[in-house]
Amino acid sequence: MKLNTYQKTAITTVGATIFLIFVGGLVRASGAGLGCPDWPKCFGSWIPPTSVADLPAGFDASQFNVVKTWTEYINRLIGVIIGLLITATFLLSFRYRKSKPSVTFSSGAAFVMVLVQGWLGGQVVKSGLSEWLITIHMVLAMAIMTTLLYAAYKATENRWNVNLDPFAQRWLFGIGLLLFVLTMIQLVLGTEVREAVDKVSRGVAPLPREMWLANIGSIDEIHRTFSWAVLLSGIGLLYVGLKRTESSIIQKLSIGIMVFIGLQIILGVGLYYLDMPPAFQVLHLVGVAFLISFEFMFLLMVRPKNQAILWSS
Protein backbone atom coordinates (compact mmCIF):
# COMPACT_ATOMS: atom_id res chain seq x y z
CA MET A 1 0.00 0.00 0.00
CA LYS A 2 1.41 3.37 -1.02
CA LEU A 3 1.69 6.28 1.37
CA ASN A 4 -0.89 9.01 0.90
CA THR A 5 -0.04 12.70 0.68
CA TYR A 6 -0.48 13.32 4.41
CA GLN A 7 1.67 10.35 5.38
CA LYS A 8 4.47 11.39 3.03
CA THR A 9 4.34 14.99 4.27
CA ALA A 10 4.26 14.00 7.95
CA ILE A 11 7.22 11.62 7.62
CA THR A 12 9.17 14.20 5.61
CA THR A 13 8.46 16.82 8.27
CA VAL A 14 9.76 14.57 11.05
CA GLY A 15 13.02 14.09 9.12
CA ALA A 16 13.24 17.80 8.33
CA THR A 17 12.75 18.67 12.01
CA ILE A 18 15.68 16.43 12.99
CA PHE A 19 17.73 18.12 10.25
CA LEU A 20 16.84 21.52 11.74
CA ILE A 21 18.10 20.29 15.13
CA PHE A 22 21.35 19.37 13.36
CA VAL A 23 21.61 22.85 11.81
CA GLY A 24 20.84 24.40 15.20
CA GLY A 25 23.71 22.38 16.62
CA LEU A 26 26.02 23.77 13.94
CA VAL A 27 24.91 27.30 14.81
CA ARG A 28 25.58 26.72 18.51
CA ALA A 29 28.91 24.94 18.04
CA SER A 30 30.19 27.62 15.65
CA GLY A 31 29.12 30.45 17.94
CA ALA A 32 26.85 31.87 15.24
CA GLY A 33 23.79 32.33 17.46
CA LEU A 34 24.15 36.10 17.24
CA GLY A 35 25.34 36.08 13.64
CA CYS A 36 22.18 38.08 13.01
CA PRO A 37 21.85 40.50 15.94
CA ASP A 38 18.23 41.43 15.19
CA TRP A 39 14.95 39.63 14.53
CA PRO A 40 13.19 38.78 12.25
CA LYS A 41 15.49 40.63 9.84
CA CYS A 42 19.25 40.16 9.74
CA PHE A 43 21.23 43.38 10.07
CA GLY A 44 18.06 45.24 9.18
CA SER A 45 17.59 43.37 5.89
CA TRP A 46 15.63 40.34 4.72
CA ILE A 47 18.79 39.24 2.89
CA PRO A 48 21.89 39.86 5.02
CA PRO A 49 25.01 41.67 3.80
CA THR A 50 28.03 39.81 2.48
CA SER A 51 30.65 42.36 3.55
CA VAL A 52 31.20 45.08 6.15
CA ALA A 53 30.85 47.67 3.41
CA ASP A 54 27.24 46.57 2.85
CA LEU A 55 26.19 47.01 6.49
CA PRO A 56 23.23 49.39 6.93
CA ALA A 57 23.71 52.44 9.10
CA GLY A 58 23.28 51.89 12.82
CA PHE A 59 25.02 48.52 13.06
CA ASP A 60 28.41 47.97 14.65
CA ALA A 61 30.88 46.51 12.16
CA SER A 62 32.47 44.49 14.98
CA GLN A 63 29.22 42.48 15.21
CA PHE A 64 29.54 41.30 11.61
CA ASN A 65 31.15 38.02 10.61
CA VAL A 66 30.07 36.89 7.18
CA VAL A 67 30.33 33.16 7.98
CA LYS A 68 28.42 33.40 11.25
CA THR A 69 25.84 35.75 9.76
CA TRP A 70 25.02 33.46 6.88
CA THR A 71 25.12 30.36 9.10
CA GLU A 72 22.44 31.88 11.32
CA TYR A 73 20.51 33.20 8.31
CA ILE A 74 20.42 29.76 6.67
CA ASN A 75 19.27 28.32 10.00
CA ARG A 76 16.36 30.78 9.98
CA LEU A 77 15.48 29.96 6.37
CA ILE A 78 15.38 26.25 7.17
CA GLY A 79 13.20 27.06 10.17
CA VAL A 80 10.75 28.83 7.87
CA ILE A 81 10.66 25.79 5.58
CA ILE A 82 9.98 23.52 8.55
CA GLY A 83 7.18 25.87 9.61
CA LEU A 84 5.62 25.61 6.15
CA LEU A 85 5.93 21.81 6.21
CA ILE A 86 4.24 21.65 9.61
CA THR A 87 1.49 23.95 8.34
CA ALA A 88 0.98 21.66 5.35
CA THR A 89 0.93 18.63 7.67
CA PHE A 90 -1.77 20.25 9.77
CA LEU A 91 -3.93 21.21 6.77
CA LEU A 92 -3.60 17.77 5.19
CA SER A 93 -4.50 16.12 8.51
CA PHE A 94 -8.12 17.24 8.19
CA ARG A 95 -8.74 14.16 6.07
CA TYR A 96 -8.42 12.22 9.35
CA ARG A 97 -10.56 14.49 11.52
CA LYS A 98 -13.38 11.92 11.69
CA SER A 99 -11.65 8.59 11.15
CA LYS A 100 -8.60 9.32 13.34
CA PRO A 101 -9.03 12.60 15.20
CA SER A 102 -5.77 12.03 17.08
CA VAL A 103 -3.90 12.66 13.81
CA THR A 104 -5.55 16.05 13.38
CA PHE A 105 -5.18 16.98 17.05
CA SER A 106 -1.48 16.12 17.18
CA SER A 107 -0.78 17.82 13.84
CA GLY A 108 -2.57 20.91 15.16
CA ALA A 109 -0.55 20.79 18.38
CA ALA A 110 2.68 20.69 16.34
CA PHE A 111 1.45 23.70 14.34
CA VAL A 112 0.79 25.71 17.52
CA MET A 113 4.14 24.70 19.01
CA VAL A 114 6.07 25.74 15.92
CA LEU A 115 4.47 29.19 16.11
CA VAL A 116 5.62 29.42 19.73
CA GLN A 117 9.04 28.14 18.69
CA GLY A 118 9.38 30.86 16.06
CA TRP A 119 8.52 33.54 18.60
CA LEU A 120 10.87 31.96 21.13
CA GLY A 121 13.70 31.99 18.60
CA GLY A 122 13.28 35.75 18.33
CA GLN A 123 13.38 36.10 22.11
CA VAL A 124 16.60 34.07 22.25
CA VAL A 125 18.26 36.52 19.86
CA LYS A 126 16.83 39.62 21.57
CA SER A 127 18.01 38.34 24.97
CA GLY A 128 21.56 37.91 23.69
CA LEU A 129 21.33 34.11 23.85
CA SER A 130 19.78 33.77 27.30
CA GLU A 131 20.76 30.32 28.58
CA TRP A 132 17.37 29.38 30.03
CA LEU A 133 15.58 30.45 26.85
CA ILE A 134 17.93 28.25 24.82
CA THR A 135 17.04 25.32 27.09
CA ILE A 136 13.31 25.89 26.56
CA HIS A 137 13.97 26.28 22.82
CA MET A 138 15.69 22.88 22.73
CA VAL A 139 13.08 21.04 24.82
CA LEU A 140 10.31 22.51 22.67
CA ALA A 141 12.09 21.32 19.51
CA MET A 142 12.07 17.77 20.91
CA ALA A 143 8.39 18.13 21.82
CA ILE A 144 7.57 19.20 18.25
CA MET A 145 9.55 16.28 16.86
CA THR A 146 7.81 13.67 19.05
CA THR A 147 4.37 15.17 18.40
CA LEU A 148 4.95 14.97 14.66
CA LEU A 149 6.24 11.43 15.06
CA TYR A 150 3.07 10.51 16.92
CA ALA A 151 0.90 12.00 14.16
CA ALA A 152 2.85 10.13 11.48
CA TYR A 153 2.64 6.88 13.44
CA LYS A 154 -1.10 7.14 14.02
CA ALA A 155 -1.66 7.80 10.32
CA THR A 156 0.34 4.71 9.36
CA GLU A 157 -0.23 2.35 12.31
CA ASN A 158 -2.12 -0.16 10.18
CA ARG A 159 1.22 -0.87 8.50
CA TRP A 160 2.83 -1.98 11.75
CA ASN A 161 2.14 -5.56 12.81
CA VAL A 162 3.42 -6.01 16.36
CA ASN A 163 2.12 -9.01 18.32
CA LEU A 164 3.48 -9.25 21.84
CA ASP A 165 2.92 -11.48 24.81
CA PRO A 166 1.00 -9.38 27.40
CA PHE A 167 3.60 -10.04 30.11
CA ALA A 168 6.51 -9.04 27.84
CA GLN A 169 4.52 -6.06 26.58
CA ARG A 170 4.06 -4.68 30.09
CA TRP A 171 7.76 -5.05 30.80
CA LEU A 172 8.79 -3.49 27.51
CA PHE A 173 6.46 -0.54 28.01
CA GLY A 174 7.54 -0.03 31.62
CA ILE A 175 11.26 -0.14 30.88
CA GLY A 176 10.78 1.89 27.70
CA LEU A 177 8.88 4.60 29.57
CA LEU A 178 11.53 4.71 32.28
CA LEU A 179 14.26 5.02 29.66
CA PHE A 180 12.38 7.78 27.84
CA VAL A 181 11.96 9.80 31.07
CA LEU A 182 15.62 9.30 31.99
CA THR A 183 16.70 10.40 28.51
CA MET A 184 14.62 13.57 28.73
CA ILE A 185 16.16 14.34 32.14
CA GLN A 186 19.59 13.72 30.64
CA LEU A 187 18.73 16.10 27.80
CA VAL A 188 17.88 18.86 30.27
CA LEU A 189 21.07 18.16 32.24
CA GLY A 190 23.02 18.36 28.98
CA THR A 191 21.53 21.76 28.16
CA GLU A 192 22.45 22.88 31.69
CA VAL A 193 26.04 21.82 30.99
CA ARG A 194 25.98 23.79 27.77
CA GLU A 195 24.57 26.84 29.54
CA ALA A 196 27.38 26.67 32.11
CA VAL A 197 29.96 26.32 29.33
CA ASP A 198 28.51 29.37 27.57
CA LYS A 199 28.89 31.45 30.73
CA VAL A 200 32.52 30.41 31.09
CA SER A 201 33.35 30.90 27.41
CA ARG A 202 31.70 34.33 27.25
CA GLY A 203 32.83 35.58 30.65
CA VAL A 204 34.68 38.79 31.42
CA ALA A 205 37.92 36.82 31.26
CA PRO A 206 37.20 33.97 28.78
CA LEU A 207 39.10 30.77 29.49
CA PRO A 208 40.82 28.54 26.92
CA ARG A 209 38.53 25.87 25.46
CA GLU A 210 40.36 23.06 27.23
CA MET A 211 39.48 24.63 30.60
CA TRP A 212 35.75 25.12 30.07
CA LEU A 213 34.44 21.88 31.56
CA ALA A 214 36.81 22.09 34.53
CA ASN A 215 35.30 25.43 35.53
CA ILE A 216 31.54 24.87 35.32
CA GLY A 217 30.98 23.26 38.69
CA SER A 218 29.28 19.95 39.47
CA ILE A 219 26.65 19.95 36.70
CA ASP A 220 28.96 18.16 34.25
CA GLU A 221 29.75 15.44 36.79
CA ILE A 222 26.02 14.99 37.47
CA HIS A 223 25.37 14.75 33.72
CA ARG A 224 28.08 12.17 33.21
CA THR A 225 27.05 10.13 36.25
CA PHE A 226 23.40 10.14 35.22
CA SER A 227 24.37 8.51 31.93
CA TRP A 228 24.79 5.26 33.89
CA ALA A 229 21.05 5.25 34.62
CA VAL A 230 20.32 5.64 30.91
CA LEU A 231 22.83 2.94 29.99
CA LEU A 232 21.51 0.39 32.48
CA SER A 233 17.91 1.04 31.44
CA GLY A 234 18.93 0.62 27.81
CA ILE A 235 20.60 -2.70 28.60
CA GLY A 236 17.45 -3.86 30.38
CA LEU A 237 15.33 -2.87 27.40
CA LEU A 238 17.66 -4.67 25.00
CA TYR A 239 17.59 -7.85 27.10
CA VAL A 240 13.80 -7.99 27.29
CA GLY A 241 13.43 -6.93 23.66
CA LEU A 242 15.68 -9.72 22.41
CA LYS A 243 14.84 -12.48 24.89
CA ARG A 244 11.12 -12.00 25.52
CA THR A 245 9.74 -11.20 22.08
CA GLU A 246 10.03 -12.55 18.57
CA SER A 247 8.88 -9.31 16.91
CA SER A 248 11.65 -8.33 14.50
CA ILE A 249 10.76 -4.63 14.54
CA ILE A 250 10.83 -4.49 18.36
CA GLN A 251 14.16 -6.29 18.36
CA LYS A 252 15.57 -3.87 15.76
CA LEU A 253 14.31 -0.85 17.70
CA SER A 254 15.84 -2.26 20.91
CA ILE A 255 19.19 -2.66 19.15
CA GLY A 256 18.92 0.79 17.55
CA ILE A 257 18.20 2.41 20.93
CA MET A 258 21.20 0.68 22.49
CA VAL A 259 23.44 1.71 19.59
CA PHE A 260 22.48 5.37 20.00
CA ILE A 261 22.99 5.18 23.77
CA GLY A 262 26.47 3.78 23.15
CA LEU A 263 27.26 6.47 20.59
CA GLN A 264 26.06 9.18 22.97
CA ILE A 265 28.36 7.88 25.70
CA ILE A 266 31.31 7.69 23.31
CA LEU A 267 30.67 11.25 22.12
CA GLY A 268 30.29 12.42 25.72
CA VAL A 269 33.65 10.88 26.63
CA GLY A 270 35.16 12.54 23.57
CA LEU A 271 33.74 15.92 24.56
CA TYR A 272 35.25 15.57 28.03
CA TYR A 273 38.70 14.31 27.11
CA LEU A 274 39.21 16.02 23.73
CA ASP A 275 38.37 19.57 24.88
CA MET A 276 34.87 19.74 23.42
CA PRO A 277 35.50 19.50 19.66
CA PRO A 278 32.65 21.32 17.82
CA ALA A 279 31.93 18.30 15.59
CA PHE A 280 31.29 16.17 18.68
CA GLN A 281 28.93 18.82 20.05
CA VAL A 282 26.82 18.71 16.88
CA LEU A 283 26.80 14.90 16.71
CA HIS A 284 25.91 14.67 20.41
CA LEU A 285 22.88 16.90 19.88
CA VAL A 286 21.68 15.08 16.76
CA GLY A 287 22.31 11.75 18.47
CA VAL A 288 19.95 12.55 21.33
CA ALA A 289 17.28 13.60 18.81
CA PHE A 290 17.52 10.21 17.09
CA LEU A 291 17.61 8.42 20.46
CA ILE A 292 14.44 10.17 21.64
CA SER A 293 12.76 9.40 18.30
CA PHE A 294 13.61 5.70 18.55
CA GLU A 295 12.49 5.52 22.18
CA PHE A 296 9.21 7.28 21.46
CA MET A 297 8.49 5.07 18.46
CA PHE A 298 9.25 2.05 20.65
CA LEU A 299 6.72 3.24 23.25
CA LEU A 300 4.06 3.73 20.61
CA MET A 301 4.52 0.19 19.35
CA VAL A 302 4.61 -1.62 22.69
CA ARG A 303 2.07 0.39 24.68
CA PRO A 304 -0.84 -1.68 26.01
CA LYS A 305 -4.04 -0.90 24.15
CA ASN A 306 -5.59 0.63 27.23
CA GLN A 307 -2.71 3.08 27.49
CA ALA A 308 -2.54 6.36 25.61
CA ILE A 309 0.36 8.59 24.75
CA LEU A 310 -0.62 12.19 23.99
CA TRP A 311 -4.00 11.47 22.39
CA SER A 312 -5.98 8.34 21.63
CA SER A 313 -7.98 7.81 18.47
Give me the percent of the chain exceeding a pLDDT of 90.
55
pLDDT computed for residue 204 by the predictor:
59
Q: Which of 31-40, 164-173, 185-194 has the lowest mean pLDDT?
A: 31-40
Average pLDDT of the residues in 301-310 = 66
243, pLDDT greater than 70:
yes
Q: SS3 letters for the chain?
A: CCCCHHHHHHHHHHHHHHHHHHHHHHHHHCCCCCCCCCCCCECCECCCCCCHHHCCCCCCHHHCCHHHHHHHHHHHHHHHHHHHHHHHHHHHHHHHCCCCHHHHHHHHHHHHHHHHHHHHHHHHHHCCCCHHHHHHHHHHHHHHHHHHHHHHHHHHHHHCCCCCCHHHHHHHHHHHHHHHHHHHHHHHHHHHHHHHHHHHHCCCCCCCHHHCHHHCCCHHHHHHHHHHHHHHHHHHHHHHHHHCCCCHHHHHHHHHHHHHHHHHHHHHHHHHHCCCCHHHHHHHHHHHHHHHHHHHHHHHHHCCCCCCCCCCC
Local confidence band at 157 (pLDDT 50, 70, 90 cut-offs)? confident
In this prediction, residue 313 carries a pLDDT of 43
pLDDT of amino acid 266: 96
What does the pLDDT average to over 196-210? 71
pLDDT at residue 306 tops 60 = no
Percent of the chain surpassing pLDDT 70: 94
Phi, psi of 4 (to 5 degrees): -85, 180
Mean of all residue pLDDT scores within the chain: 88
Residue with the bigger pLDDT between 77 and 126: it is: 77
Report the range of poorest mean pLDDT among 36-45, 204-213, 277-286: 204-213
Q: Which fold has domain 162-313?
A: Four Helix Bundle (Hemerythrin (Met), subunit A) (1.20.120)
> Is residue 113 scored above 90 in pLDDT?
yes
At residue 80, does pLDDT exceed 90?
Answer: yes
Strand partners, 45: 42
Would you kindly state where each structural domain of the chain is located, as residue ranges?
A: 1-159, 162-313
Is 90 exceeded by the pLDDT of residue 11?
yes
pLDDT of residue 217: 80
Q: What is the pLDDT of residues 118-131, one digit of tens each?
A: 899 888 888 877 77
